[in-house]
Structure 1
């Protein structure tokens, strides 16, 4: 065993893998003679995605009950990974534009470069405005039900330039999808883009056509659109842009309008994601839409957020697994999460990062194919946000000083996005102790990335096993590790 750093510490939380693997890998997979490189981020230390050890696999007999162990089985493979990224909102783009050019380059490299950064490979953006913008707007004149005034000129000032630079920094492409927060006011029952309301039935077709115009306009600018979600948070009446769809209403809009319109307009390859709200009602929404074959044929999968703990409960990770079990041929995509209630004195607040680590491990282990953070960049106030809904981002740009603030969440996300690459297969991973969480993926290049999280207050020494070969290491308290071999 070659130790590169003495600052390794005790290790993995309970990983659980789901049954019914999709693929059986090569029966002769072996780590004999391989080396596991360990990267660590830890609280109360200067370790931030730091390489902390290089470990030789060696023969190990039957594990003992007295040992802490993580078991990885590359032959048992599950969902295909599509990527990790964050949302390029108007707010992110407005802050980006106010930073010095050197800081802009630093931010883009930090997020999108797979070697010098954390290798983001997907992005979400909005169809006209959401709360994270300086104000509300649409792409048409109010009342234009023919969409004759449709124009994305608003986005050309900040958002489109940032998306293009992100694509360039990522090597030329990003998996880009878009979400609406509200139809134009005249299309809604409350005649307001804010405060909920519903899409009026007489505008179902016009709204479907609006999606098409958005996709074609963005693609004409050289930004391919992978897909759309039907509606951001369709069961929440918010003080910002919002619109309510019951499960039946969303099903019927997709079945009778959005899906057929995409197919008629040559957009059959665009992926439609339903729900795009919290894990609490996830199963009911998926059951209603995906059990209808005429609706399901248009749907790639179900998107979800993490804010169900607003009611005081715990995250409902098991609901993700239930949906994957019920609809194994459909996909799951985490479409939004952030730490709420911004306060600058909590930039380095470690539980904010651990929320990411815990969610990403559980969501992936329960069948999620991709994971999208919310705003990639906000200012020193947690905005701009036109209704005062200020939140955290992994990176903040101080528009007064021109400096960037990297929070621990950036590094926690990076333990996944940097080492798990699009096209990877999740593989079986499990820990022998509830004190450690873990997940693992087999990359297209044949490398395995195993992520281990220790949310506890004490270091943990553990063995990582593949068959009868193992490495021994430790993980610090409140730390995340990625082992690549």
Structure 2
């Protein structure tokens, strides 16, 4: 058993703790034994990775509130594959989101003015905190892929005249596509390559207290097909375009965009705030050549107790990956002791970050989301391929084969009782043990 590496989470006091085989509770009975069978011959999607977002709030807390020693240690624990949990996907807002200290875009001009030549475009805001952290993350893990999503275009491009509410003016489709190009180019000048963008975060939700915009499927298809993709081609950009970027409960939206925009779209991005992850698979079955990505899911006080919250990340993460997703990305990388900072007028946030940075004490705390994410990200490396594994509503499983041929299996006991589990790979028993209720285990077999 020397070729096994095992990490287990078993309650709030034991989170992502490495175990030796002899430390596991042995299972000597075959009664009610659940057999999890791994078949590496049956393969599915290639994995890009796991991560979260350097929102303006997160970047400020990590870059300015933590001291240099704390920041260095945290970044290693987030991104280094050996010293940390090896996060490898970052999905950042293009401008302000709900988690920003101010309203801002990359082309803010006085009310009543326009700038169709984008002469006043600048990513100067991001140079303070966001870009330095992205560079540091890439130095720790060069395999990181960067995604970007706008919550709102600049106010002058919108029918509302504000970053809150409204739609994109028809006369601004072309300049908004050029805005994306300038963003990608500006980041490239900083040594940062943008792997993919979405045209609009949560295009069907128009919040009244933070940046957002309505972008119906026919409008999104038009924007991608006739403006965004042609501009990418004109400027020689290979950045991918993912549509939708919203909840599982409206699979008709991405299907409509794919039906219309076709080859201009590279994939579909999903969130978890409504519906079920099987929607990802349903759309993927209709368009199997399009990538599937899970780009946002936040934990928060609406699932306050430890066990339900931890279970939610493990259960949902496994199902996201079993439904074709190449990525699993949570929301804020860091929030403070008040679940902020948030944009002015937002009110009180109930979201939870991957880490908590107390602005008063400077104390850094890893939340349950960090440890739950670690069960996936630590050993499932970029370019791993998902392989077949038996799974049910008692013992949920998902398995992968890395490029070094190591096999990673993530198990979660979703029942309220201890359960005997036998893990079999290629006809050989790997482990037989008792997995405690609501506990998770990651097994790496070299």
Q: Confirm or deny a common fold (TM above 0.5).
A: yes
1:157-196 equivalent positions in 2, closer than 5 A: 157-170=128-141, 172-194=142-164, 196=165
Instruction: Name the CA distance, whole Å, in 1 between partners of 2:316 and 2:211.
Output: 26
Aligned residues: 429
**What CA distance in whole angstroms lies between the structure 1 residues aligned with 2:89 and 2:331?**
12
Shift, 1:65, TM fit: 7.9
In structure 1, C-alpha distance between the alignment counterparts of 2:302 and 2:359, rounded to whole Å: 16
Q: Distance in 1 between matches of 2:140 and 2:339?
A: 25
- Where does residue 468 of structure 1 map in the other structure? 427
Is the 8 Å Cα contact of residues 40 and 387 (structure 2) preserved in structure 1?
yes
How far is 1:173 from its partner?
Answer: 4.7
Distance 2:283 2:340 in 1: 34
* 1:8 aligned residue: none
In structure 2, the gaps of 5 or more residues are: 23-28
Decide whether the 8 Å contact of 2:52 with 2:330 is kept in 1. Answer: yes
- The correspondence of residues 431-442 of structure 1 with structure 2, limited to 5 A, is 431=391, 434-442=393-401
2:266 counterpart SS class: strand
**C-alpha distance in 2, partners of 1:351/1:110?**
25
Aligned to 1:360: 317
1:50 pairs with one of 10, 17, 23: 17
CA distance in 1, matches of 2:266, 2:3: 38
Q: Which has the higher contact order (CA 8 A, sep 6+)?
A: 1
Question: Residue 21 of structure 2: SS of its match in structure 1?
Answer: strand
Cα separation, 1, equivalents of 2:393 and 2:153: 45
The alpha carbon displacement at 1:87 in A equals: 0.5
Tell me, what secondary structure is at the counterpart of 1:176? strand
Name the counterpart of 2:231.
Answer: 261
The equivalent of 2:352 in structure 1 is: 392
Q: Give 1:158 shift.
A: 1.5
Q: Is residue 7 of structure 2 the alignment partner of residue 39 of structure 1?
A: yes
Is the 1:43–1:477 Cα contact (8 Å) retained in structure 2?
no
Residues 1:466 and 1:65: Cα distance change in structure 2 (over 3 Å): farther
The equivalences for 1:146-295 within 5 A come to 146-170=117-141, 172-194=142-164, 196-238=165-207, 239-267=209-237, 269-281=238-250, 283-292=251-260, 295=261
Ranges in structure 1 where 5+ consecutive residues have no aligned partner: 3-33, 56-62, 309-314
SS in 2 for 1:226: strand
- Give me the TM-score of the superposition, normalised by structure 2: 0.92
* CA–CA separation in structure 2 for the residues paired with 1:389 and 1:369: 33
SS in structure 1 of the partner of residue 390 of structure 2: strand
Equivalent residues of 1:425, 1:442 under 8 A apart: yes
Q: How far apart are residue 174 of structure 1 and its match? A: 1.9
Within 2, Cα distance between the matches of 1:255 and 1:380?
43
Aligned-residue offset at 1:66 = 4.2
* Matching of residue 304 in structure 1 with residue 270 in structure 2: yes
CA pair 324-65 structure 1, distance change in 2 beyond 3 A: farther
Look up the match of 1:450: 409
Change (3 A) 1:65 1:274: farther
Q: Distance in 2 between matches of 1:411 and 1:211?
A: 34
Report the Cα offset of residue 298 of structure 1: 1.8
In 2, the alpha carbon distance for the partners of 1:163 and 1:342 equals 30
Tell me, what secondary structure is at the counterpart of 1:198?
coil
Note the alpha carbon deviations across 1:287-326, whole angstroms, 9 max, x for none.
112123xx22121100010111xxxxxx412211111111
Give the match for residue 116 of structure 1: 83
Tell me if 1:92 matches 2:51: no
**Contact residue 123 and residue 372 of structure 1 kept, 8 A:** yes
> Aligned to 2:372, what secondary structure does the other structure show?
helix
Secondary structure at the counterpart of residue 285 of structure 2: helix
Match among 369, 380, 384 for residue 337 of structure 2: 380
- The answer to whether residue 95 in structure 2 is matched with residue 125 in structure 1 is no
Q: Residue 106 of structure 2 aligns with which residue? A: 139
Correspondence 1:71 to 2:71: no
Are 2:63 and 1:103 equivalent residues in the alignment?
Answer: no
Displacement after TM superposition at 1:51 (Å) = 1.9
Cα shift readout 1:402-421 (whole Å, capped 9, x = no counterpart)? 11111122111101001101
**Which residues of 2 match residues 328-343 of structure 1 at below 5 A?**
328-341=288-301
How far apart are the structure 2 equivalents of 1:50 and 1:186? Answer: 51
Correspondence 1:479 to 2:446? no
- What TM-score does the superposition give when structure 1 sets the normalisation length? 0.85
Moved more, 247-256 or 454-463: 454-463
